[in-house]
Chain A
Amino acid sequence: MDVRDREGTAATLRAAVWIVIAGIGLGLAFNAVGLASRPPRGLAWIRQPERMPSLEDLQPGSSLLPAPRPDLLPRLALVGTAWAASAPRPVLPDTARAAVKKPAAPAAKPAKTTKAPVQTAKAKTMPVKPAIQRTTAAPAAAKPETPAAAPLPVVPDLDQPIEVKLAFAKRFFDAGPEAAVIVDAREPVEYAAGHIAGARSLPYESVAAKPELLEAFQKLGKPIILYCGVGCETSHELGKLMASERIRKVLVFTEGFEVWRDAGYPVEKGAAGAKR
């Protein structure tokens, strides 16, 4: 058996280097053959950063989006809109309302006549100005302390998971179980040690081994917020699994449980059982 086992250190080192070089060569060749085959399989030579679309960027009116695509936002009218709140209609003083109601104005003119009175009203009556500022400032800051005032973000029906940050995730949480389902993708032990209050436990490994676990989520019709720990990928991977099973409105709270907990938001302990 021990063919060439008694060779010296230099020869062994040479052989080790050859193993590495041959391995690299075989790996690249195998991938090249895979990419050349029909249908192509294998990996892209250079890995491109995998970025989830961000729910914050997808909000209509976001400066990062030139315009909301209608096919991405099919239920725009049915879901609460943050964008509408971020640019609220000014509260018109009585004088302005009276100006709008003037019957003599042609059909195209009311829009113009509304603007002018508002500006004059703002300049003349000081109390109106702070009122307008408050209504515009509150949703823009997305303060989690004032959940009642914060409307739910629009969740488009994308065929891929969407990243959601702490402020938006908290808004869904505050809106209650009717607004969204929160799912913990970590292991049951980690879930039991502490999880977002009301979150369901759905470990990624369990779903990977038993995809039928996703059936319960297929007809929910409301956003599903997935999370795991710090620097983890399991929530994103679970999101991709869900998307592949035609589950839509899958949100991934990428900052993870620790960020939620450290923000002082509700958490609870205990094994799986609490349903939200």
Chain B
Amino acid sequence: MRFLTATPVRRGAQVLLGLLFLYAALAKIVDMGDLATEVHNFRLVPQWSENLIAMALPWIELLAGLALVLGVSPRAGAWVAGALLAVFTLGVIAAMARGLDITCGCFGTSSVMRVGWAKLAENLGMLVLAALGSFRPR
């Protein structure tokens, strides 16, 4: 357990997660229209709010990624990333439970990965990174 809270592991998890979030955020910012469609595909939020979510989400990811990579309040960045990942994972589970045949949109249009077990595993892996990055330094 001590190994998991060691600084190199924590920083490594933070930087890796931060880079992933930066990539995802930039991919989404360049194509917000597609992101709005992906948000719509999940059918989890009221339709009027879908564009607002598509506008704000990538920028929250961007700031969380910057915080993680630059080490400026990285734990806060890991918390935000973890919360987002928890929501995304619930969205994936809900889509799978309803049998929705949709692409995730998690990394913008550069990824056409569909919602399914692989996406669930990917999200859970990133959640582990967020948990590692959230540990308080000893």
Contacts and interface: CB of A to CB of B under 8 A. Distances in A.
Interface of A: 1-7, 12-16, 18-20, 22-24, 26-28, 30-31, 42-47, 49-50, 186-187, 190, 205, 208-209, 228-234, 237
Given A12-B79, A16-B80, A233-B37, A208 B109 contact: yes
Provide the main secondary structure of the chain B interface.
Answer: helix
B63 A26 contact: yes
A20 B102 contact: no
20 contacts: A5-B73, A5-B75, A16-B80, A19-B60, A19-B67, A23-B59, A23-B63, A31-B55, A43-B36, A43-B51, A47-B47, A47-B49, A47-B50, A205-B112, A228-B101, A231-B101, A232-B102, A233-B37, A233-B40, A234-B103
A7 B77 CA distance: 13
Nearest to A32: B55
Contacts of B137: 2, 5-6
Interface of B: 7, 11, 29, 32-33, 36-37, 40-41, 43, 47-52, 54-64, 67, 71-77, 79-80, 83, 98-103, 109, 112, 114, 136-137
Nearest to A15: B76
Contacts of B56: 23-24, 27-28
Contact of A19 (B54, B77, B99, B109): B77
Given A45-B51, A47-B51, A230-B99, A12 B59 contact: no
A181 B47 CA distance: 33
Contacts of B109: 208
Contacts of A190: 101
Nearest to A232: B101
B79 A186 contact: no
Contact of B76 (A16, A30, A45, A209): A16
Nearest to B32: A43
B71 to A, nearest CB: 4
B80 A20 contact: yes
A247 B114 CA distance: 27
B72 A231 contact: no
Nearest to B64: A19
Nearest to A50: B40
A237 to B, nearest CB: 7
B37 A237 contact: yes
Contacts of B61: 23
B82 to A, nearest CB: 10
